[in-house]
Amino acid sequence: MHVLATAGHVDHGKSTLVRALTGMEPDRWAEERRRGMTIDLGYAWTSLPSGEVLAFVDVPGHQRFLGNMLAGLGPAPAVMLVVAADEGWRPQSAEHLAAAEALGVSRGLLAVTRSDLADPAAALRAARSAIAGSGLADVEAVTVSGVTGEGLDDLRAALDRLAAGAPQADPAAAVRLWVDRSFTVRGAGTVVTGTLPAGTLRTGDELLLRDRPVTVRGLQTLGAPADVVVAPARVAVNLRGVDKDDVRRGDALLCKGSWHSTRLVDVVATIDGLPEGLVCHVGSAAVPARVRPLGTHHARLSFETALPLAAGDRLVLREPARQEVLGGATVLDPEPPELVRRGAARARAASLARDGGAADELRRAGALRVSDLERRGLRVPPEALRIGRLVVDRDRWTAWRRDLRDLVARDPRADGVTEVAAVQALALPSELLGALVDDTGLRRSGGRVRDPASNGSLGAAEGAVARVEARLRDTPFLPPDKEEMVELGLSGRDVAAAERQGRLVRLTADLVLLPDGPARAMRVLAGLPQPFSASEARQALGTTRRVAVPLLEHLDRRGWTRRVDETSREVVRG
């Protein structure tokens, strides 16, 4: 399943589009339908043409309901930004884009809807230029009408591409389900719902809710009961022993022992000069906080109530009295050191300001995307390496070089390791492989990394392969049989390596010719009266039936010969 939040100015057609795509009603309240306006989060889902299921969290666009909007957008991995063709880019469009920016959302789609009311070109241009430079700059755009249905198929196809490109959520990640709704079901008790961005939920799981253990009595997803729900997903959790009043939006269901609830965090903000008081939105929560500035970009926030936060979590910042996004912040340290000594705050500010903790994070990760650092307000550590779109920790690079050389050197046949195996063994971001191979003096070809110095050599198998080659030069169509190969000490792996090096071709797993063998056979066969039988071919080639039959089948596969009937073939001319 995939989860997508809508976003965009009020009345631009978000709910209508969700309705048209899913056939479901995202405006759940009678008041919403009477007023024709989304007030709270709505939920709907559909199957895409590929069969992938996509769930929508439909948000209100009206400024007054910014908090509800953020509770929907907060845990969602992607966003569908909706702009009305007849209205164009409006203040709440920018507001919602700012929220997505603050949250670091970079996956999504731009839908210019109500295309039946006006030519969408101008609105599309305006929206494109508004999102240029944001994390959503590269998203696909679709023009559509939720009322006439024009463009809906394009939109579905674009949603499918978005789903196909979604990064895999880690099913083993510690669960943190931000509650966006809680209610009572007669006979079942308390149910909470939320967007599960990572991890797996199972019936019977013991979780924590406000430091209290709770048990998952039942699960539902897409309106049906489930024993197991794997992220990403929309999920409803029936909790045993929890009163409806014990849980509300902004609470989180947590894996035991994995999360640290904190009232104090050090952050880097996307804006300078934070006010003294803020409201911080994270997940579905909105919590007031006091601000202690630490240098220009950094600050220590103390929350009114504790939040389960980890380094890297993103907060949307708002001034308490204003319904607008002020900026964003990234948690650098959810367990910051106390600042008691005189000068401690200044020292802390200096250490955060040096690189905002980027060097530490880079040391841990090995490599990070430059755009991710920049978007989070972190500076690229000056001592780091820049390779393509990544910054790489120097020590890690040295270790990767050593490990890659070792890996290739340890390969017993000296025919290289596959790129996939190398990337896995080194836990290397695959886009770094090219640079790493160049830097180590190794070479990439045919999907493998090899040492050019040992090229042409097959290690221990070299002598045996050379003997087979010599023999085939004398009698090109009389290769060694299976037993002889075993006697020579040649395994299937050796033969495969020799084939990759262009020294032999395989007709079957253990039947080989020189690479020019098939072409030589063709010259002989072309001289026969056409069509010819397998036994005529065998005689002309001076070989045995054991070789002739697989050789002819090999030529058939290449399209050089073809069967005429049960018993005969002809050479394909031209």
Ligand X SMILES: Nc1nc2c(ncn2[C@@H]2O[C@H](COP(=O)(O)OP(=O)(O)O)[C@@H](O)[C@H]2O)c(=O)[nH]1
Q: Which positions lie near Mg ion, rule CB under 5 A?
A: 14-15, 38
Smallest separation, CB 232 to ligand X (Å): 23
In the sheet where 443-445 sits, what is the strand order? Answer: 417-418, 448-450, 443-445
Q: What are phi and psi of 327, to 5 degrees?
A: 170, -165
Considering only CA atoms, which of 178, 230, 166, 157 is closest in space to residue 4? 166
H helix or E strand, kind and range, residue 54? strand 53-58
Question: Quick one: which of 29, 35, 36, 441 contacts ligand X (CB under 6 A)?
Answer: 36
Distance CA 177, CA 235 (A): 9
Q: Cβ of 123: how many Cβ atoms within 10 Å?
A: 26
Smallest separation, CB 89 to ligand X (Å): 14
Number of residues that bind ligand X (CB under 6 A): 19
11 binds ligand X (CB under 6 A): yes
Distance CA 79, CA 77 (A): 7
Smallest separation, CB 103 to ligand X (Å): 20
Residue closer to ligand X (CB basis): 114 or 281? 114
Smallest separation, CB 82 to ligand X (Å): 6
Cα dihedral 539, 545, 547, 552 sign: positive
- List, in order, residues 6 or more apart from 27 with CB less than 8 Å away: 15, 33, 38, 42, 58
H helix or E strand, kind and range, residue 419? helix 419-426
Choose from ligand X, Mg ion, none: what does 114 bind? Cβ within 5-8 Å by kind: ligand X
H helix or E strand, kind and range, residue 45? strand 42-47
Residue closer to ligand X (CB basis): 65 or 400? 65
> How is residue 106 annotated by DSSP?
-
Each residue 64-83 as x (binds ligand X by CB under 6 A) or -, in order, gives ------------------x-
Question: Quick one: which of 1, 2, 5, 14 contacts ligand X (CB under 6 A)?
Answer: 14
Question: Quick one: which of 1, 16, 294, 361 contacts ligand X (CB under 6 A)?
Answer: 16
Each residue 112-151 as x (binds ligand X by CB under 6 A) or -, in order, gives -xx-xx---------------------------xxx----
Distance CA 518, CA 507 (A): 9
> How is residue 127 annotated by DSSP?
H
Residue identified by tokens 């952050």 is 267
152 binds ligand X (CB under 6 A): no
439 binds ligand X (CB under 6 A): no
Question: Quick one: which of 22, 28, 38, 538 contacts ligand X (CB under 6 A)?
Answer: 38
Distance CA 135, CA 97 (A): 9
Smallest separation, CB 386 to ligand X (Å): 42
Smallest separation, CB 289 to ligand X (Å): 30
Give residue number: closest CB to ligand X. 13
Q: What are phi and psi of 407, to 5 degrees?
A: -60, -45
Residue closer to Mg ion (CB basis): 111 or 513? 111
H helix or E strand, kind and range, residue 21? helix 14-22
Residue closer to ligand X (CB basis): 114 or 249? 114
Q: What are phi and psi of 324, to 5 degrees?
A: -150, 155
Smallest separation, CB 10 to ligand X (Å): 5
Smallest separation, CB 11 to ligand X (Å): 4
Choose from Mg ion, ligand X, none: what does 314 bind? Cβ within 5-8 Å by kind: none
List interacting residues with ligand X (CB under 6 A). 8, 10-16, 36, 38, 61, 82, 113-114, 116-117, 145-147
